[in-house]
Amino acid sequence: MTRLTPRHVLASLIICGSLLGLAACKPAEDTSTAPPAAAVEGPLSPKLIPAPAQMKVLVGRYVVGAGTVVHAQDDAARRVATQFADLLAKAGRPPLPSARDDAPGGIRFVIDASQSLQPQESYKLDIDNDGVVVRAGHERGLFYGAVTLWQLLTQDPAGETILPALHIEDSPRFGWRGFMLDSARHFWTVDQVKQVIDSMAIHKLNTLHWHLTDDQGWRIQILQYPKLTEIGGCRIPAGDGGKDPQTGKPVPYCGFYTQDDIRDVVKYAAARHITIVPEFDVPGHATAAIAAYPELGTIDTPLVPSNEWGVFPNLFNTEESTYTFIENVFGEIIGLFPGAYVHVGGDEAVKDQWQASPRVQKRMREVGAGDEMAMQSHLIKRLEKYLVGHGKRLIGWDEILEGGLPEEATVMSWRGIEGGIQAARQGHDVVMSPSSETYLDYLQTESPNEPPGRPATITLQQIYAFEPVPTELDAQQRKHILGLQANLWTEHTRTFARLQHHMFPRLAAVAETGWTPQAGKNIDDFLNRLPTQLQRYRSMKIDYAQTPFEVAIQSKDDRAAGTVEVHLSNPLGYPLRYTTDGSEPGPASELASDQPLTLKLPAEIHARTFFDRQPLGEPSQFRLDAASMLQRTDETLATCPDAGRLLLRLEDDGPLVGERAIFNTTIFYPCWQWNQANLDGIGGVQVRAGRIPYYFQLAHDEPNRKFEPASTPNGELVIRGGGCKGRILATTPLPAQPDADGFITLRSPLPEDAKGTQDLCIVFTGDTRPQMWVLDSITLQPR
């Protein structure tokens, strides 16, 4: 389906500047509207993320000038000094000269053998008027000290680059501070993966979980099985996204990493003290592999790498030859990734094909598996023996608990924290990664400017509040909680800019939970430090999300009085200033309060978020008049109470190249509701709708998909008053195809007795698969 230019365009964020792009905004005359800062010992709290374990701010400062020398005497210290110089270069700072002598002053990186018994990631940092010393027992800790030093560089009002006098003793709270990158659904180039690694390093994250295989693509070269990438590495996207608009021929979406690519990325990550954990998912999420080698599957139907999303029934079979294949693949993976862990997946393995397969049932009897869960457990236990025999540890999603865990297995708990609690009580190590708290592909605000994403909303505050160690565990069981990990699945993340939007700034909240002691966390203090972190992102050209810094508006009109009640807010609670005279808001403009504004129609509001009297975001402009109050878009409509779960923000399937329309819809029961619509004086409705592929595999949830019965061949647009159980106010037949622009506009009269304030329910009838109609906007039309 083709489309028009999108309604919403993300605006660039403007933050107060500094020489290095790293300093805090200059203090304001009036900071009473900023989020409160937590108390800190000393005259000023540096804006560090993650916050260090112990910090004492002292009186004094060290001036960094052209004559400042960086001292590093051994190879490890010199490597860290070089990385510190690279961080300065990314911020546009000229390089500092280096030396190996013991001359006083300057910046000194020291590997101190007396500190070697401390955790490898710990460091000490001392700054006074005479110089800087970063000290650690291991290169890893020295690197994290260099990252902290980079964050501390500040420009004073006179233009000098300074470091505040302080003493820091720092170690991370958790040993596993992870981020999962899904390269299977959408492929990321080697350079883009390296950018992800760079951003992880400045957050002191140390584990990259790399999801390399799935139903939609096989992304890692396996020399013994070349078809895995030749066939499994390409899919034909659904709809217009998989067609050449000129010829109509298929346009495949392809990508994989050669083994040399993998070695390059692993080396790059190791230099930044990040361990990569590869994932080859078994026995489910196997469509791409089975498409390449059909003998691996359980059914005879030929498969292709899927262009749909969701949960698929295709599993590896249980033949000995397939086990050999899986072990051979893991054998090549092991040779590429030197880290201790290998991820075997184990999630969402729908057992329908195994239940229906005489071969699998016979195999189950042979190995003594009482049911299909036990059969999966048999496979996982065999893989654990294989991995242990090759010096590796097995980790899998919490479904590997079903049927019994292998003796040394580690559990990654994603379906809440319950699986992690169960595993820890059994004496197994755990990484907490609940979808409800740490999935970064979930939307982060209610803004219409959010890119496509998965169900619901996970805000930065929600991620920051997550505590990985459950109170239900006793002291010994808590030791099994290795840490936490944020996951970013990329079904709906088609571009690298969107990937970064989902990651930042929420990854900063993950980093602070992973590093900072629980008692040292404070959301108000974090929000006080966040604007400075945004400057660091800008210096590294990280395209972080701007929606958390936007102004949101809610409005309710009084048509009879010709007024509108307006409430302005910001998702992170930063102060808002606004004008109603068309001028751009400044630090002296009116401060928005929790109380709504009442304005005469028409009204024009310009609003902007501020921190320390400096703007955080571009101004938002809202034009409110009689016409605009009669229209709602899909983003501003509610979900119908009967729509069920899985509200998605979905992208159109075309054009092949360029921007595409985005729609909010529920896939189990596509339905939209305009709550409290005022129908007085309204004679009809106009609906603009688009159509996109219904590309979802729902496995056992499929029966929950609801269809309103259709009365005409292509279904109808139905509008009810009084909610989705109310009476039908309007019905209009749907065409077989949308118009040339990919949309349709439908108009329906309303009965004369449709009056007052009531909830309008909008539904498209009929089983429209493999397509679905989606609402773009609805407009009330006066009589």
Give the contacts of 394 (CB within 8 A, at least 6 positions apart).
341, 342, 344, 380, 383, 384, 387, 388, 406, 408, 409, 410
Structure-block tokens of residue 588: 């002296």
The dihedral through the CA atoms of 423, 424, 427, 433 has a sign that is: positive
Annotation marks residue 446 as catalytic: no
Report whether 690 contacts 774 (CB < 8 A).
yes
Tell me the one-letter amino acid at 87: L
Q: Tell me if residue 261 falls in helix, strand or coil.
A: helix
| Owner of token pair 């290169």 | 139
Q: Is the peptide bond before 95 cis (omega within 30 degrees of 0)?
A: no
Residue among 139, 327, 332, 348 flagged as catalytic? 348
Is 349 exposed, middle or buried (CB count within 10 Å of its CB: 0-12, 13-18, 19+)?
A: buried
Helix (H) or strand (E) holding 493: none
- HSE at residue 529, side-chain half, CA atoms within 13 A, is 22
For residue 583, give Cα distances in angstroms to 310, 608, 620.
47, 12, 12
Q: Tell me if residue 365 falls in helix, strand or coil.
A: helix
Report whether 260 contacts 246 (CB < 8 A).
no
Give φ, ψ of 134 to 5 degrees: -105, 125
Structure-block tokens of residue 523: 């959301």
Q: How far apart are CA 484 and CA 172, in angstroms?
A: 12
Report whether 265 contacts 254 (CB < 8 A).
no
Angle at 256 (CA atoms; ends 251, 259), nearest 5 degrees: 155
Nearest to 504, CA basis, from 199, 720, 250, 86 = 199
Edge-to-edge strand list for the sheet holding 552-558: 552-558, 563-569, 597-600
Report whether 728 contacts 663 (CB < 8 A).
no
Bridge partners of 778, per DSSP, are 632, 687
Is 284 exposed, middle or buried (CB count within 10 Å of its CB: 0-12, 13-18, 19+)?
A: buried
DSSP notation for 402-439? TT---TT-EEEE-SSSHHHHHHHHTT--EEE--HHHHB
Q: How far apart are CA 416 and CA 395, in angstroms?
A: 17
| Owner of token pair 């399937």 | 653
Report whether 665 contacts 650 (CB < 8 A).
yes
Nearest to 104, CA basis, from 82, 128, 87 = 128
For residue 379, give Cα distances in angstroms to 34, 298, 323, 535.
55, 15, 8, 48
DSSP notation for 727-770? EEEEEEEPPSS--TTSEEEEEEE--TT--SEEEEEEEE-S--TT
Report whether 296 contacts 283 (CB < 8 A).
no
Q: How far apart are CA 317 and CA 376, in angstroms?
A: 10
Q: How far apart are CA 476 and CA 342, in angstroms?
A: 25
Active site residues: 348
